[in-house]
């Protein structure tokens, strides 16, 4: 493919070019580079709208060459009911980090879903008990699906519980994912008992008040808290964080928009009490799980470094496959 111009890639292109396994490898590498001080701090900006909001995440990584990416995402929770549109919509602009040339503009929705699930899988690899077999997924949409697929890459899963405020969604999740992953999936309407029976719990909902209570969680559980990516979202009881080992994707970001910020605001935890960023665990600078009894919470707000690493895979594969449409914005 001619290297001049900018490559345009839609959601179908992205889905065809990016798989969960290679995304997990790329995301793990990006976290490690950050922990080793080999990346610039990624940037984030958010803006509220009447019925939702927008955020911009930007980062730069030195990979096969220097790459910069900026993602503009819109998040409107009522979109499906009101307009028949997705909850999350947006684009990623990928540029050459050495000369600034726009290399690609691609749909961000699929990348956001996959790279978020990839971070959950990587965190489970380092923080969940090695003998974990049972998972509860809270939120049975696209993010719940990719989270379970990612965890299945690193743990020998036998059973999953599916919880959603929409019972039809949980039933559809069971039908589709149980056959794909060859594990038992049981839709549930109440969380307390199934969380206590689970080794791993993933929360990936748009909730604005916590539903995962401290007394639901047994010793040894790993929790990936994915839904809170703005200051008004919350899934976990703040006392659960104060009773757990807390690992974050980015400390300052989680302190502002993640589950961590609710614990900080309630005076239940300080930033100094956060055990580690995930990259520090990957790089061996901080410990991961040190006891079978530890409750470990991974506060996942989603980082621009994940977006860059994922967008690069999509772009390089698209070039190799001669996929997408070229446009020259400069003419």
Active site residue: 32, 38, 57, 71, which one? 71
Q: Residue 146 CA to chain centroid, in angstroms?
A: 9
Q: What tokens were used for 263?
A: 């614990």
Query: Do residues 319 and 7 touch, judged by C-beta distance below 8 A?
Result: yes
Residue with tokens 């050459």: 96
Residues 6 or more apart whose Cβ sits within 8 Å of residue 189: 163, 167
Long-range contacts at 182-190 (CB < 8 A, ≥ 24 apart): 183/152, 183/157, 183/158, 183/159, 184/158, 184/159, 184/160, 185/159, 185/160, 185/161, 186/159, 186/160, 186/161, 186/162, 187/161, 187/162, 187/163, 188/136, 188/161, 188/162, 188/163, 189/163
71 is a catalytic site residue: yes
Point out the residues that are catalytic: 71
């Amino acid at each position: 493919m001619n290297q001049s111009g900018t490559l345009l890639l839609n959601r179908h292109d992205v889905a065809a070019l990016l798989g969960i396994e290679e995304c997990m490898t790329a995301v793990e590498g990006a976290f490690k580079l950050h922990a080793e001080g080999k990346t610039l701090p990624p940037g984030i900006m958010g803006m509220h709208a009447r019925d939702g909001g927008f955020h911009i995440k930007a980062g730069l990584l030195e990979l096969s060459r220097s790459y910069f990416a900026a993602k503009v995402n819109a998040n409107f929770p009522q979109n499906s009911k009101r307009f028949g549109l997705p909850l999350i919509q947006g684009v990623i602009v990928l540029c050459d980090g050495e000369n600034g040339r726009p290399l690609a503009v691609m749909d961000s929705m699929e990348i956001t879903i996959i790279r978020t699930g990839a971070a959950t899988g990587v965190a489970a690899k380092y923080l969940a008990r090695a003998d974990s077999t049972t998972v509860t997924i809270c939120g049975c949409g696209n993010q719940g699906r990719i989270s379970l697929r990612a965890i299945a890459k690193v743990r020998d899963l036998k059973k999953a519980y599916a919880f959603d405020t929409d019972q039809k969604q949980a039933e559809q999740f069971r039908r589709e994912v149980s056959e794909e992953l060859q594990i038992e999936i049981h839709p549930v309407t109440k969380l307390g008992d199934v969380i206590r029976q689970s080794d791993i719990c993933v929360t990936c909902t748009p909730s604005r008040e916590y539903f995962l209570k401290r007394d639901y969680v047994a010793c040894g559980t790993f929790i990936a808290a994915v839904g809170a990516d703005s200051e008004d979202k919350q899934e976990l009881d703040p006392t659960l964080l104060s009773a757990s080992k807390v690992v974050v994707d980015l400390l300052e970001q989680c302190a502002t928009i993640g589950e961590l910020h609710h614990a900080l605001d309630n005076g239940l935890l300080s930033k100094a009490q956060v055990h580690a960023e995930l990259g520090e665990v990957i790089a061996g600078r901080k410990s991961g799980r040190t006891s079978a009894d530890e409750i470990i919470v991974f506060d996942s707000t989603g980082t621009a470094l994940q977006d860059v690493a994922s967008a690069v895979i999509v772009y390089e594969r698209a070039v190799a496959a001669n996929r997408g449409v070229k446009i020259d914005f400069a003419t």
